[in-house]
Every structure is written in C-alpha cells, then in structure tokens.
Amino acid sequence: MDEYVVLVDDQDRQIGIREKIESHRQGLRHRAFSVILMDGPNILLQRRSGHKYHSAGLWANAACGHPRPDENLPSAAHRRLNEEMGIQCDLTWKAVTHYQADVGKEMTENEIVHLFFGNYTGPAYPNPDEADDWGWFRLDSIREHIESASCYSYWLKEYFRQRLI
C-alpha cells in the first residue's frame, strides 16, 4: 500500500501530496513528527528495524513518522507511537524544527518536524517491523557521546544539537 506525505513550504503550509518513498528520493520538503518519551532523567530510544528503508539499525527517539493527508499532527503522533512501540500516553507538542540530510540508500530527509513529548513509565511492546530493540538511556550519557557515535539517527543528533531535548 502506498503511503503519502504532505509537501510543505518553508512556513509549513501544505503545497501538495506525494508518495513517501518518492519524496525521500527527490528530497522534497514535507511535514513530519517525532515523539520523545521521558522518565525523569531518562529517554526512551528504539533501534530501528533492519527492515527499514533508511537509517536501519540506528538508535532513534520513541517514534517518528509523517501525518497522512488530512490527519492532524497529534493524532498522527499517537498513531505511530502505538504502531511502533505499542505505547499509549499523553503527548504535548513542544517545538518545530527543520532539517535536511542524506540518510543513505539515495534518500534525503527534508522535513519540517513537529516534536511531541510525553512522560511515560510503563512497558513497551515494540513492533518488530519497526524496532529491533529499545531501552531507557540517561540523557546526560547520550549528550556526552551522541556527536561522536555512529549508532544514532541523524534526526536524533539534530534534536540534541538544537537543544530540543
């Protein structure tokens, strides 16, 4: 089944819709979101499944994705958190950012990303098609070595660079 993303201008205004993989191959700017889950000084990270079409095997935030055409951002964030990690919890929109990066396999992420944060202490039930592993990690430890480590997704590094986390 084809998935579509919402193409946006630099002000995050919708300018079109495009098939997801094609938009990444062409590096077209589109709307996205990331979910960050915290438990005190800890952050929940997942290792992206080896089956993912880009950034496979890298550690990333709890969930991320793209709202479907005509789907609002909070609903999309909740949907993906449940699809990826089997988690349902309250989320709060905190920030928006933009990044553009070559993520391998001739794919370019060019995303205006809305960040949603939640406090969570319960179990996770990761979907093996989405995540190979997960765990709670100390924020201070991640901050210390995220720039020098190759095991983290580009976008997670970017969120730390921008001090969004």
Catalytic residue among 109, 111, 130, 158: 111
pLDDT in tens, 102-135: 988 899 999 999 999 999 999 999 999 999 999 9
Is 111 among the catalytic positions?
Answer: yes
pLDDT of residue 1: 64
Give me the residues of the chain with pLDDT under 70, please.
1
Q: How many domains does the chain have?
A: 1
pLDDT score for 103: 87
**Of the listed 64, 84, 109, 130, which one is catalytic?**
64
- Residue pair 98/115 in contact (Cβ under 8 Å)? The answer is no
**How far from each other are the two terminal CA atoms of the chain, in whole angstroms?**
34
| Residue-by-residue DSSP string for 44-109 | EEEEEPTTSSSSTT-EEESEEE-PPTT--HHHHHHHHHHHHH------EEEEEEEEEEEEETTEEE
Cα→Cα distances 101→26, 28, 34, 156, Å:
12, 11, 16, 12
| Residue 68 · residue 93 · CB < 8 Å | no
| 151 catalytic residue (yes or no) | no
The pLDDT assigned to 4 comes to: 97
Single pTM value for the model: 0.95
The predicted pLDDT at position 53 comes to: 85
CATH number at residue 120: 3.90.79.10
Residue 8 belongs to domain spanning = 4-161
